[in-house]
Every structure is written in C-alpha cells, then in structure tokens.
Amino acid sequence: MNNNNALLSASEFYEVPFHDCDPMQVVWHGNYARYLELARCKLLRLFNYDYNDMYDSGYMWPIIDMRIKYVGATVFTQQIKIEAFLKEYEQRLKIDYIISDAQTGKKLTKATTTQVAVCMQSKEMQFESPAVLLTKIAKVL
C-alpha cells in the first residue's frame, strides 16, 4: 500500500481496551471497523465534511467496500496509531489505512474503504461526488 500519493492524511491514537479483545487478549477482528472509523472521522473533519456535514448536505455516504489485511496481532493495552489517507474523491471516497504500534511503528493492519454518495431524497447513487464535497476539498488541497 503506497501512501506517498495521498491527497490528505490524518491519524488517531488509541489504547486497546479489554472489551475489544477475545479471551486470548487479542483484538477481535470485527473491532477493526471501529478503529478505521476513528481515523476516517478525523480525516473528514480536515475538510469539514464529517457525517453531520454529509447529512446536512443531503447525501449519505455508505461504505460499499472494505478490505482489511491483518499483518500482526493487536492486544489488550497496546497503544496503536491509526492513519487514514485520502486517495480518491472525485467519483467516490477511497481511503487507505495503516494501523501500527504507536511505540515501535510496527505495522499491524492495512485496510481500504470505499464510500459513494447517495442522495438522501431520491435514494439514488451518485456517479460523481457532489459539488459540496468537491468545493470543501478544493479549499484544503
């Protein structure tokens, strides 16, 4: 995963709580979607288009594809860094992620999500990102 060509990036730090883990004190795989959400929200706030802003603009942005590759175990009390990298925005929001150990930098997880705009009124998927998103991103790029 090459993040050198990311348009914007954001990162979030998180300490793995006990309730995120299985009996072996390893993070249960389903919790990674929440971890990605932490960094994704921080990234969206960089251009003022977090989920409340999406709603106010008349569009919802469902995730239509999510891919995760688990490289190493994440465990109870571990401090992790979750990085989000905006890769595409003109037809869809494509975001790459890297989760790593906050102290050592060891890569633990790689992921990608893809979201598309859906008009809340008509419920129709948009084949291009709405002007409101393009305008907001243009202000920070």
Cβ(6)–Cβ(33) under 8 Å? no
Query: Residue 78: which CATH number?
Result: 3.10.129.10
The string of pLDDT tens digits covering residues 79-129 is 999 999 999 999 999 999 999 999 999 999 999 999 999 999 999 999 999
Classify residue 89: in a domain, yes or no. yes
Classify residue 3: in a domain, yes or no. no
pTM, 2 dp: 0.94
Classify residue 1: in a domain, yes or no. no
Classify residue 38: in a domain, yes or no. yes
Cβ(84)–Cβ(34) under 8 Å? no
Q: What is the pLDDT of residue 15?
A: 98
Residue 102: give the domain boundaries.
Answer: 8-140
The string of pLDDT tens digits covering residues 8-25 is 999 999 999 999 999 999
Which structure tokens are listed for 6?
């990311």
Task: Tell me which residue of 60, 70, 8 sits closest to 39, measured CA to CA.
Answer: 8
Write the DSSP string, 102-137. Answer: TTT--EEEEEEEEE--EETTT-PBPSS--HHHHHHH
Domain count, the chain: 1
> In the predicted model, is pLDDT for residue 1 greater than 80?
no
The string of pLDDT tens digits covering residues 22-47 is 999 999 999 999 999 999 999 999 99
